[in-house]
Amino acid sequence: MNRKFLSFPYLIWMAGFTLIPLLLIFYYGLTDRAGGFTLDNVKAISSPECIQALLRSLKLSCISTVICLILAYPLAMILKHSKSRNSFIVFIFILPMWMNFLLRTMAWQVLLDKNGVINNILSFIGLPSLNMINTTSAIVFGMVYNFLPFMVLPMYNVLSKISDDTIEAAHDLGANAFQTFIKVILPLSVPGIVSGITMVFVPALTTFVISDILGGGMILLIGNVIEQEFTFSNNWNLGSGLSLVLMIFIIISMIMIAIFDKDGEGTVF
């Protein structure tokens, strides 16, 4: 018996529940309620409300991705040198997921509140209080908090595979610490960086929950607009059309991964 047939139930499952559903989004996105072909649902992205939400989403997700990148790289380097067991490192970043993600995000509401813990500490040490809740910065904060593990883990995976011999060889050949980093470590960690960037950028771009909770429901991201089309307005065609626009960014991310992380070294887990 040819063992590759064992993957057939899985392939049928994925066809039925991943590929066909995606085609349905295309179908709904490119038709009107009566079923006739139209591009109006996609063009709706240029309406003031949608384009504003999309630009805001792009801006906030870019900022969050950059912050995650800056925070995660040193952390991944430290973890590489810490000689902890691999499973332990994955574990400390996965463990928070056992406390519901909505509740954890809610908790930041309390901490960031005008009369919250952080402002109390600030006023205690004599600093002016910050107005953080229901602002775009609170949303960025929530994005960084929720998606940081998805930047750290791929980077750590890639960095931990760089053998000490490679680094020693660079030193033996006369490179100093900085040169070793720029010429050896950084280029070798590109798959992890690219994978991390997409793993943060895509969920940040498309979230509607974080903006709902930390933006006080006043700051709409593109995810909120789409969610409302499905849950309130019941205009699936418009919602699907806007999703198609989002898929452009997702497909760009997938292509980036295919180019820079060919061997799948930078997978999260």
Partner 1 sequence: MKKFLSSTYMAIILLFMYIPIVALIILSFNSSKYMSTWTGFSFRWYGQLLSSTIIKDALRNTLIIAFLSATIATILGTVASIGINNMKKMPKTITMGITNIPMLNAEIVTAISLMLVFIAIGLKLGFLTILIGHITFNLPYVILSVMPRLKQTEISTYEAALDLGASPFKAFMKVVLPDIMPGVTSGFLLAFTMSLDDFVITHFTKGSGINTLSTLIYSEVRKGIKPSLYALSTIMFITVIIILFIANKPKKSEQ
Residue 31, φ and ψ in degrees, nearest 5? -125, 160
Residues between 41 and 80 with contacts to partner 1, criterion CB under 8 A: 71, 74-75, 78-79
Q: Which is nearer to partner 1, 97 or 186 (CB)?
A: 97
- Please pick, from the candidates 41, 134, 189, 198, the single residue that binds partner 1 as defined by CB under 8 A: 198
Instruction: Using the minimum distance from each CB to partner 1, give the nearer residue, 84 or 173.
Output: 84
Residues facing 37 on adjacent strands: 31
Contact 51, 245 (CB under 8 A): no
Question: Which is nearer to partner 1, 59 or 114 (by Cβ)?
Answer: 114
Interface size with partner 1, residues (CB under 8 A) = 90
User: From the CB of 187, what's the least distance to partner 1, in Å?
Assistant: 23
Q: How far apart are CA 201 and CA 57, in angstroms?
A: 10
Of the candidates 49, 47, 26, the one whose C-alpha atom is nearest the C-alpha of residue 38 is 26
Minimum CB distance to partner 1 smaller for 121 or for 186: 121
C-alpha distances in angstroms, 130 versus 123, 134, 138? 10, 12, 11
Minimum Å distance from CB 183 to partner 1? 21
Single-letter code of the amino acid located at 223: G
Smallest distance, partner 1 to C-beta of residue 63, A: 17
Residue 162 contacts partner 1 per CB under 8 A = no
What is the rounded (10 degree) CA torsion for 202, 205, 209, 213?
A: 130
User: Scanning residues 215 to 244, which ones bind partner 1 (CB under 8 A)?
Assistant: 217, 223, 226-227, 230, 236, 239-240, 243
Closest distance between partner 1 and the C-beta of residue 209, in Å?
6
For the CB of residue 157, give the shortest distance to partner 1 in the complex, in Å: 11
Q: Which is nearer to partner 1, 158 or 257 (CB)?
A: 257
Q: Report how far residue 134's alpha carbon sits from residue 113's, in angstroms, rounded to the nearest whole number.
A: 9
Nearer Cβ to partner 1 (120/173):
120
Q: Is the dihedral of CA 89, 92, 98, 100 positive or negative?
A: negative
Nearest to 61 by CA among 131, 140, 136: 140
Q: Which structure tokens are listed for 84?
A: 């902890």
Q: Which of residues 24-43 bind partner 1 (CB under 8 A)?
A: 24-25, 28
3-state secondary structure (DSSP) of residue 31: strand
Binding mask 84-123 for partner 1 (x = CB under 8 A): ---x---xxxxxxxxxxxxxxxxxxxxx-x-xxx------
Q: Whole-number minimum distance, CB 193 to partner 1, in Å?
A: 16
Q: Does 202 bind partner 1 (CB under 8 A)?
A: yes
Phi-psi region of 234 (alpha: psi -120 to 50; beta: other; left: phi over 0): left
Q: Pick left, alpha or beta for residue 31 (phi over 0 → left; psi -120 to 50 → alpha; otherwise beta).
A: beta
CB of 199 to partner 1, least distance (A): 8
Least Cβ distance, residue 50 to partner 1 (angstroms):
15
Q: Which residue's CB is nearer to partner 1, number 191 or number 223?
A: 223
